[in-house]
Amino acid sequence: MPKSILIDTTVCTGCRGCQVACKQWHNLPAEKTKNMGSYQNPQDLSFNTYKLVRMNEQIINGRLEWLFFADQCRHYLDAPCLETAFDKNAIYRDDATGAVQYTKQTKKLDADEITGSCPYNIPRQAPDGTLAKCDMCNDRIHNGLQPACVAACPTGAMQFGDRDEILELAGKRLAKARKKFPKARLLNPEE
């Protein structure tokens, strides 16, 4: 049974705990950033940032609203990058978890072709030519742990589990969210 991650944006506070936990678990360095006039930091995903809380400040009905989204790889069941690569030594799916994995062999792929195939602009190229992205913390999952981002989330916005359980939970969360936000909808990358 493939695993899935649910991100419930209605209870995300933009704390960035998930972003930091991902860096910590993967031993990734901080980005050099500067203030660009908003709370967005860093500005985008990179080969050193697999998980990024996107922060949008918008005026809605005359009120300033902060809209947060904890962005990362969607681990598609039919992953376009995997289908484009045609090289299982470079990009493969772990059938036990459903996690799409990138290896050092991605260096041999056409980086523009792979990044261009991703509808969410997730994979990023490192200076050594390899491609990098969220690996769903596949090593943690195989050791009975949740992905680091999910384990760090203090509000329950991020949830992890078997795909059918997560889809059921998503349906319940959506029904609850629609009482307050009638236009709320489920963005399932498989639909």
CB of 62 vs ligand SF4, minimal distance in Å? 26
89 or 155: CB nearest ligand SF4:
155
85 or 102: CB nearest ligand SF4:
102
How many other CB atoms sit within 10 Å of the CB of residue 23? 18
110 or 155: CB nearest ligand SF4:
155
With a CB cutoff of 8 Å and minimum separation 6, the contacts of 114 are 81, 84, 85, 91, 106, 123, 131
| Residues 45, 120, 96, 5, CA torsion sign | positive
Separation CA 106–CA 90 (nearest Å): 5
Characterise 174 by phi-psi region: left (phi > 0), alpha (psi -120 to 50), beta (else): alpha
85 or 152: CB nearest ligand SF4:
152
Q: Is 76 helix (H, G, I), strand (E, B) or coil?
A: coil
Place of tokens 């992890």: 160
**Residue 72 CB burial class (10 angstroms; 0-12, 13-18, ≥19):** buried
Give contact residues for ligand SF4 (rule: CB under 6 A): 12-18, 21-22, 25, 50-51, 53, 68, 70, 72, 134-137, 147-149, 152-153, 155, 157-158
129 or 156: CB nearest ligand SF4:
156
CB of 133 vs ligand SF4, minimal distance in Å? 8
CB of 185 vs ligand SF4, minimal distance in Å? 18
CB of 52 vs ligand SF4, minimal distance in Å? 9
CB of 59 vs ligand SF4, minimal distance in Å? 22
